[in-house]
């Protein structure tokens, strides 16, 4: 143990007490390897044989980092088959990482693997490990990491760009000359196909930099106590957890993935050591082909800059500009053969993707933190009726509200428009659609339907790291890594809308009609369906207690996503009882839930079925989106900002269609925000372009705003009474179209 007589500093005394407590706790549970690790805390020679055992609980994230790296390596290798692949594991010690990697990316597929470390006792363990495995392509080098030299380098074989993969597992924080090390890695890493993976402890600064806000920093913040305690604690062992190392890492290289976790080692509810997993690539990577680069330090708003804030540059049509998406460009024809493009000039900090980036980067703003999760796990609008009036073609460019992305995918399947801009202020809605796009790109149909049809998959975590992650932005990966249990039970019971489904299941169970609900969703005739509805289910849902709850403003917003102003519009048309009656009665008499109304089948059962689901969940729809290397998905651009801000960033006359759902119901009558938004729609829509919306009111007041701004407003459907359903959802009182004159 630590003799207290040898402790002089008050903090050291406290540390000794905590350490002694941990030792006693470990002793009680007979954890001999951990005791040996603590006893030889600073003597690697004494603990070399139990090093891996003791680090298994302490050094979290190593397996995830290697798994993620393997998935991204496979994507990078696909673009350069036959290229020599060298892996350098810096500070690899006992070779545990290399042995682990064989599970995800066979060591035999590397042309050469080098383990670099200064500790001979640990390297001796590695030599025995590799000899047992019989790996002839693995070489152990006892060198200083900051100026490592590979045997294959010579005057005729330059080190620059010769390495394809570099990893550092809890070693960056232990290397004093980290600037030199990272500069050297940047020099030797392949500029186009190189990958760097890091996992380590960290502490953050008091405030996030603009760069951190741009690359995503979910759960990165550390409280003052955590920053103070862990930096001092690890400093005793010459491990530096100050933010400088990670900051320089993220400055020197482009970020692909970043995940911030907490290690609940030994005392899970007390000891929470911050650690991170990070993947990146050289900034020299070609950003004009398979990935995007975005400036994030100059003070501009990333993702949705207004045209006035963009800087003028020139490029000829024969040399395509960076494919930043229309939200970043304002194009004008200057003279034949030349295009003038307003785009923010790249400076020091970029956000990188390996694959086609559907998600446009954004600064994480305080408003984004208000959205802890998605509101809508499914889209509550009928796209079949939309398609009847949209008259979409391959040349059309659309503007839609993201929601859960179901309808945007329907439009892509049905008509393949040139561009679909999906816009939502809630970043979690973007994370959901991005996940669907990534899953279409990377999974087979059975796994995809299990996730979004059945809403359950027992192996989602493995799929996320190995197959899906290379197609996700860093922010989206962080969100789904944190919410990895979303698919352990019904996915559709998560999010705010999940509360409505949970309530329905509770009410049905309480009333004893759960089996009747299942029967309702499997009826073969409308007569049978109507009979069950009238005698069993209707009396439950139109019960005064349920009606009162549905009318509660708190429940309306938190479970149904209905804001106060829209609730007010709805009640202006009649009572809540009348609204529920006029919504559901005609639906159950018109559409068979079994195969013709997936909206209410999901609401009642909590999942879809193969015969009743959105088009993207049908095998035909899925295969169309996945065909030709998922080329159909190139049409998507996902924005994370307000509708007004995104519109300001779009070129004039660049849109032909816009579907804004019931969005304008959210504003109070006479709101200036409505005027500003409609004016921007007028600017960005081409002549003859159309805007579509639904409303809880039969004649919404904002219709006249469109007319003042040069649109002709046409009703496409208005609820007249309890007899007819406007569509398969039938929750809105009216459906409108405005044509740009």
Query: Is the pLDDT confidence value at 343 over 50?
Result: no
* Structural domains of the chain ordered from first start: 56-282 (3.40.50.150), 295-346 (no CATH), 367-442+632-740 (3.40.50.150), 495-605 (no CATH)
Query: Is the pLDDT confidence value at 215 over 80?
Result: no
Supply the pLDDT for residue 202.
Answer: 85
Supply the pLDDT for residue 420.
Answer: 96
Query: Is the pLDDT confidence value at 292 over 60?
Result: no
Mean per-residue pLDDT over the chain, rounded: 81
Least-confidence region, from 461-470, 593-602, 659-668: 659-668
Closest CA to 236 of 19, 36, 4: 19
Least-confidence region, from 10-24, 274-288, 679-693: 10-24
> Coil, strand, or helix at residue 140?
strand
Please state the rounded mean pLDDT for residues 456-470. 94
Q: How confident is the model at residue 551 (pLDDT cuts 50, 70, 90)?
A: confident
Least-confidence region, from 215-219, 240-244, 465-469: 215-219
Q: How far is residue 526's CA from residue 594's CA, in Å, rounded to a whole number?
A: 10
Supply the pLDDT for residue 569.
Answer: 73
Q: H/E/C letters for each residue in 433-501?
A: HHHHHHHHHHCCHHHHHHHHHHCCCCCHHHHHHHHHHHHCCHHHHHHHHHCHHHHCCCHHHCHHHHHHH
Least-confidence region, from 168-177, 312-321, 619-628: 312-321
112, containing H or E segment: strand 112-117
Q: How confident is the model at residue 76 (pLDDT cuts 50, 70, 90)?
A: confident
Whole-number percent of the chain with pLDDT over 90: 52
| Dihedral of the alpha carbons of 7, 8, 11, 12, in degrees to the nearest 10 | -20
Strand order in the sheet with 655-659: 636-639, 419-423, 397-401, 655-659, 685-695, 734-740, 711-718
Supply the pLDDT for residue 578.
Answer: 84
Which has more confidence, 671 or 101? 101
Supply the pLDDT for residue 132.
Answer: 93
Of these ranges, 13-17, 62-66, 309-313, the one predicted with the greatest mean pLDDT is 62-66
């Amino acid at each position: 143990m630590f003799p207290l007589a040898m402790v002089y500093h008050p903090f050291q005394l406290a540390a000794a007490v905590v350490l002694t407590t941990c030792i006693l706790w470990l002793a009680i549970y007979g954890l001999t390897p951990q005791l040996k690790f603590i006893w030889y805390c600073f003597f690697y020679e004494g603990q070399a044989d139990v090093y891996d055992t003791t680090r298994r609980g302490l050094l979290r994230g190593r397996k995830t980092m290697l798994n993620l790296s393997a998935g991204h390596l496979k994507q990078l290798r696909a673009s350069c088959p036959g290229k020599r692949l060298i892996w350098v594991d810096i500070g690899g010690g006992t070779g545990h990482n290399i042995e682990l990697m064989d599970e995800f990316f066979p060591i035999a597929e590397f042309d050469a693997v080098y383990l670099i470390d200064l500790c001979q006792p640990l390297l001796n363990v590695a030599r025995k490990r590799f000899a047992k495995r019989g790996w002839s392509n693995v070489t152990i080098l006892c060198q200083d990491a900051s100026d490592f030299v590979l045997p294959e380098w010579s005057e005729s074989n330059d080190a620059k760009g010769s390495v394809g993969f570099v990893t550092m597992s809890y070693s960056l924080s232990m290397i004093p000359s980290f600037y030199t090390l990272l500069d050297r890695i940047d020099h030797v890493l392949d500029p186009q196909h190189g990958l760097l993976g890091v996992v380590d402890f960290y502490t953050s600064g008091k405030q996030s930099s603009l760069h951190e806000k741009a690359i995503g920093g979910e759960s990165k913040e550390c409280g003052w106590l955590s920053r103070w305690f862990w930096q001092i604690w690890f400093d005793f062992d010459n491990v530096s957890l100050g933010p400088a190392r990670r900051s320089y890492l993220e400055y020197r290289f482009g970020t692909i993935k970043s995940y911030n976790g907490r290690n609940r080692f030994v005392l899970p509810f007390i000891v929470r050591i911050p650690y991170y997993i990070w993947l990146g690539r050289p900034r020299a990577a070609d950003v004009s082909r398979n990935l995007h680069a975005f400036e994030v330090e100059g003070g501009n708003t990333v993702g949705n800059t207004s045209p006035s804030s963009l800087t003028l540059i020139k490029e000829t049509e024969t040399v395509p500009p960076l494919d930043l998406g229309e939200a970043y460009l304002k194009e004008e024809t200057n003279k034949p053969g030349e295009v003038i493009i307003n785009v923010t000039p790249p400076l020091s900090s970029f956000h990188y993707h390996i694959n086609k980036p559907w998600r446009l980067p954004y600064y994480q703003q305080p408003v984004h933190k208000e959205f802890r999760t998605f509101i809508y796990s499914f889209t509550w609008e009928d796209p079949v009726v939309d398609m009847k009036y949209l008259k979409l073609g391959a040349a059309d460019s659309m503007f839609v509200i993201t929601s859960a992305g179901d309808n945007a995918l329907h439009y892509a399947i049905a008509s393949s428009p040139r561009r679909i801009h999906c816009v939502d202020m809630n970043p979690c809605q973007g994370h959901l659609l991005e996940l669907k796009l990534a899953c279409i790109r990377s999974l087979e149909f059975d796994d995809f339907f299990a996730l979004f049809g059945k809403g359950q998959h027992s192996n989602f975590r493995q799929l996320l790291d190995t197959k899906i992650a290379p197609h996700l932005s860093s922010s989206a990966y962080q969100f789904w890594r944190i919410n990895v249990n979303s698919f352990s039970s019904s996915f559709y019971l998560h999010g705010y809308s999940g509360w409505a489904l949970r309530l329905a299941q509770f009410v049905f169970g309480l009333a004893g009609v759960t089996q009747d609900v299942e029967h309702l969703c499997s009826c073969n005739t409308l007569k049978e369906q109507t009979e069950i509805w009238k005698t069993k289910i209707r009396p439950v849902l139109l019960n005064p207690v349920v009606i009162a709850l549905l009318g509660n403003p708190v429940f309306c917003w938190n479970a149904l996503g209905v804001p106060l102003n829209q609730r007010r519009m709805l009640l202006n048309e009649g009572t809540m009882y009348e609204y529920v009656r006029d919504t559901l009665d005609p639906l159950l008499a018109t559409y068979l839930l079994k195969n013709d109304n997936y909206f209410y089948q999901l609401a009642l059962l909590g999942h879809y079925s193969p015969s009743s689901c959105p088009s993207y969940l049908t095998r035909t729809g899925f295969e169309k989106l996945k065909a030709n290397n998922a080329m159909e998905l190139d049409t998507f651009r996902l924005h994370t900002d307000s509708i007004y801000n995104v519109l300001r960033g779009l070129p004039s006359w660049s849109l032909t269609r816009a579907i804004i759902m019931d969005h304008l119901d959210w504003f109070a009558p006479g709101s200036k925000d409505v005027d500003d938004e409609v004016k921007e729609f007028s600017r960005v829509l081409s002549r003859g372009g159309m805007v579509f919306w639904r409303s809880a009111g039969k004649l919404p007041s904002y219709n006249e705003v469109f007319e003042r701004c040069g649109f002709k407003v046409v009703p496409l459907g208005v609820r007249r009474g309890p007899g007819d359903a406007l569509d398969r959802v039938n929750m809105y009182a009216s459906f409108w179209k405005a044509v740009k004159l």
